[in-house]
A and B are shown apart, each in its own frame.
Chain A
Amino acid sequence: MSEINTNKPLLEVKGLKKYFSTKRGMLHAVDDVTFTINHGKTLGVVGESGCGKSTTGRSILRLLEPTGGDVIFDGEDVLKLDKEQMRKKRQEMQIIFQDPFSSLNPRKTIAETIAEPMNIHGILKSKDEVDARVLELMDTVGLARRLMNVYPHELDGGRRQRIGIARALSLNPKFIVCDEPVSALDVSIQAQILNLLEDLQEEMGLTYMFITHDLSVVNHFSDDIAVMYLGKLIEKAPADELFAHPTHPYTQALLSAIPEPNIHKKTERILLKGEITSPIEPKPVCRFAQRCNYATDKCRSQEPQLKEISPNHFVSCFLCDNM
């Protein structure tokens, strides 16, 4: 797929917001998140539980209806589409879910599960065509054809995740949100699935948004990495740059916390104070200030904005003002 221009954005997300109303007030799950992903590239989104990374992915596909912002996909604002148009659009935008144990219908066979999206969208006329396509997809993702008529409970996690991938591919999408696709899997199986996703990207020119909490996986897999904290995008940079020059104090702490399988490399660990604070009705101050080792009065009274500190490296932190 050489004609794909990897310098052109496929997805532009601008000021995306998703709030949930709770008894105690508005929960700002995703708050003013802006980024772009170019054709054929992978954006890794990292952050800890509750930072809004999955909600961002789902809001882009409108599996959750965003509260505000724009999502421009291939030049078209998907938030303006009506229900029927959106359903069609999802042929191009798919998702792979985290837990292959709960995201498959236990009463459908593998073949039925993979065929379902094609039947819903009616993209293939005859049953023979669908069957042929199902087998082709099973080959693509490395599922043995003899498994066609088995049920999900008969399979291990790695194979189930392959089904999820085959189903996402069945409509020939351009863009796939991978929501923690390997975190439920053992390392040896995880590596198999990561290689498969890489191969598919190369062959089909896919664009990925890769959501994970595993920093070594995101580093391996992504072109750009966005770090989220409490609904905010706090740092974004090309993967090499982010790992070489992590700038936001949270990113620094996050990277230093990775336990590396190397007994000769001793990294100085930055321990954070306390735990993630509440995302309900956050004050307009830096959301990381409470746990930050460098927080000043300014951080506790004003909200930092995302700034470009070097080409393509964006950080939202007042410390960068002095740089």
Chain B
Amino acid sequence: MSENMKKDLELDIKNLVVEFRTDAGVTQALNGLDLEIEKGKTLGLVGETGAGKTTTGLSILQLIPDPPGIIVDGSIKLAGEDVMMKSEKEMEKIRGQQVSMIFQDPMTSLNPVMTVEDQIAEVVAIHEVDANGKPIAYSDAIKRAKEMLELVGIPGDRGTEYPHQFSGGMKQRVVIAIALACNPKLLIADEPTTALDVTIQAQVLEMMKGLRDKYGTSMLMITHDLGIVAEICDAVSIIYAGRVIEHGSLEDIFDNTRHPYTEGLFNSLPDLDHREQRLKPIKGLMPDPTNLPKGCAFCPRCDYAMEICQTQKPPRVYRNDEHYVECFLYNEQNIKEGGVIGR
């Protein structure tokens, strides 16, 4: 699409293929993943365990454990620059400053023997420079760390405490403070609230929204929770077996659902307003990533599967400039007219 050229993209992933090669076989984690985030926007990356969500995040940071992980094909561009061309030294500068990541489990992503302000200051000291281009003084880094703590709602004087003295919600705030300390252009949040209780989740999401809007940060929100997507994202990519099988704006995905898998995700959720309604789960399980189906990866679980789905990869069909699905049910005509499926 020629229009894509005009878009101001913070992140542009094309045809990313990542494999984990072990003695037990080759795990095909990502199979031609495409992902785009416009500057200042938030993209939700939604899928189930093993779909390749976290691998995507780690690929952007060039943190795929190698071996066994190998990026086989594709490109990852951050603000137009291909990170796969960067040396490890250059990547160290990019991580934390241009792009940073919040990991899922705040209990294990902090260093237990370092005070929280030291952990925040560490990032600042590595990346920030003073007016003369020299690394900033550590005392200034600590000052900045305390400011960051205040920003995420923790009193600055608690900075001298250790992670075990904080609750889960506060630890996650510290992790967010570290990720935002150098004001990154892109924030990758990998299930940032999954380990938290709902009322704390609400606090943290509210805070993340506020910070994102204040600094104009682009965000990749990795989640399995469509409720969180509805709340915080501008666009959604649904990932299944390492490929984006449906992508669109919030309205496209929530109101004009096209892919049977996306439909299945919605139908699996209990509806608060119709509590008696029986759930309609997706049958079966995720395919084994070491032995993916030959045709469409979702075919064995799909209620609408046809013969062609078993043998060929489905083409991408666009409903509008942004919204597309990869599914044989659709052609250029019927995708615009309405769903073939019953949602």
A132 within 8 A of B: no
Q: Which among A49, A213, A261, A275 is the interface contact of B266 at CB below 8 angstroms?
A: A261
Residues of A within 8 A of B328 (CB): none
State whether the Cβ of A101 lies closer than 8 Å to any Cβ in chain B. Answer: no
Q: A191-B281, A269-B206, A271-B206 are in contact. Are A213 and B197 (CB under 8 A)?
A: yes
Are A259's CB and B227's CB within 8 A? yes
Partner of B265, one of A188, A194, A198: A188
Q: Residue A186 contacts which of B48, B206, B266, B278 (CB distance < 8 angstroms)? A: B48
Known: A215-B198, A269-B206, A275-B170. A259 touches B230 (CB 8 A): yes
Q: A195-B278, A260-B272 are in contact. List 17 more A-B contacts (CB 8 A).
A: A48-B198, A48-B200, A157-B49, A187-B48, A187-B268, A189-B281, A192-B283, A216-B271, A217-B270, A220-B271, A257-B199, A258-B272, A259-B228, A261-B254, A263-B251, A272-B203, A276-B167
Q: From residue 41 to 75 of chain A, which have CB atoms closer than 8 A to chain B?
A: 48-49
- The 0/1 profile, CB within 8 Å of B marked 1, for residues 171-199 of chain A is 00000000000000011111110110010
State how many angstroms separate the Cβ of A78 from the closest Cβ of chain B: 31
* A187 and B269 alpha carbons, distance in the complex (Å): 7
B197 touching A260, Cβ below 8 Å: no
State which residues 138-191 of B face A: CB under 8 Å.
Answer: 167-170
Q: Which of B279-318 contact A (CB under 8 A)?
A: 279-283, 285-286
A216 touching B281, Cβ below 8 Å: no
Q: How many residues of B contact A (CB 8 A)?
A: 46
Q: Mark A219-238, 1 if CB is under 8 A from B, else 0.
A: 11100000000000000000
Q: Are B201 and A257 in contact (CB under 8 A)?
A: yes
Contact (A260, B227) CB under 8 Å given A48-B199, A191-B281, A271-B206: yes
B272 and A243 contacting across the interface, CB-CB below 8 Å: yes
Inter-chain CA distance A198–B203, complex, in Å, is 33
**Most chain B beta-carbon contacts within 10 A, residue among A158, A189, A190, A191:** A191
**Which of chain B's residues have a CB closer than 8 A to the CB of A263?**
230, 250-251, 254-255
Number of interface residues of A (CB under 8 A): 40
SS class, residues of chain A in contact with chain B: helix
> Residues on A close to B: CB < 8 A?
48-49, 156-158, 186-192, 194-195, 198, 213, 215-217, 219-221, 239-240, 243, 253-254, 256-263, 269, 271-272, 275-276
CA distance A92 to B300 in the complex (A): 39
Mask of B225-267 contacts with A, CB within 8 angstroms, 1/0? 1111111000000000000000000110011000000001111
- Expressed in whole angstroms, the minimum distance between the Cβ of A200 and any Cβ of chain B is 14
B95 neighbours in A (Cβ, 8 Å): none
Known A186-B48, A213-B197; judge A158-B285 contact (CB<8 A): yes
Residues on A with beta carbons closer than 8 Å to the beta carbon of B169: 275
State in angstroms the CA–CA spacing of A276 and B169 once bound together: 10
Q: Of all chain A residues, which has the CB nearest B282?
A: A188
- Residue of B at shortest CB range from A184? B49
B224 at the binding interface (Cβ < 8 Å): yes
Chain B residue at minimal CB-CB distance from A195: B279
Whole-angstrom distance between the Cβ of A212 and the nearest chain B Cβ: 11
Does B214 sit at the interface, judged by CB under 8 A?
Answer: no
Q: Identify which of A49, A188, A263, A272 gathers the most chain B CB atoms within 10 Å of its CB.
A: A188
B198 touches A186 (CB 8 A): no
Given the complex of chains A and B, what is the CA–CA distance between A245 and B203 in angstroms? 23
* A190, B267: Cα distance in complex, Å: 11
* Nearest CB in chain B: distance from A70 CB, A: 30
Say yes or no for B26: interface residue by CB 8 A criterion.
no
With both chains docked as a complex, state the minimum distance between the C-beta of B271 and any C-beta of chain A, in angstroms.
Answer: 8
Residues of B within 8 A of A253 (CB): 199
What are 18 of the A-B contact pairs (CB < 8 Å)? A48-B198, A49-B168, A188-B264, A188-B281, A190-B281, A191-B267, A195-B281, A215-B198, A219-B272, A221-B270, A243-B272, A253-B199, A258-B227, A260-B230, A261-B226, A261-B227, A263-B254, A269-B206
B202 contacts the other chain (CB 8 A): yes
- CB neighbours (8 Å) of A262 from chain B are 230, 254
- Docked Cα-Cα span, A157 to B48, in Å, equals 12
Q: Which residue in chain B gives the minimum CB-CB distance to A186?
A: B48
Residue numbers in A under 8 Å from B272 (CB-CB):
216, 219, 243, 258, 260
Residue of B nearest to A194 (CB): B279
CA distance A164 to B128 in the complex (A): 53
Task: List 3 tightest A-B contacts by C-beta distance, closest first.
Answer: A259-B227, A220-B270, A191-B281
Q: Is the CB of A271 within 8 A of B264?
A: no
Q: Are B285 and A261 in contact (CB under 8 A)?
A: no
Residues of A within 8 A of B206 (CB): 269, 271
Q: Is B208 an interface residue (CB 8 A)?
A: no
Q: In the complex, are the beta carbons of B279 and A191 less than 8 A apart?
A: yes
Query: Max chain A CB contacts within 10 Å: which of B49, B201, B272?
Result: B272
Are B269 and A261 within 8 A (Cβ)? yes
Give the residues in chain A near B283, CB-CB below 8 Å: 192
| A267 and B272 alpha carbons, distance in the complex (Å) | 13
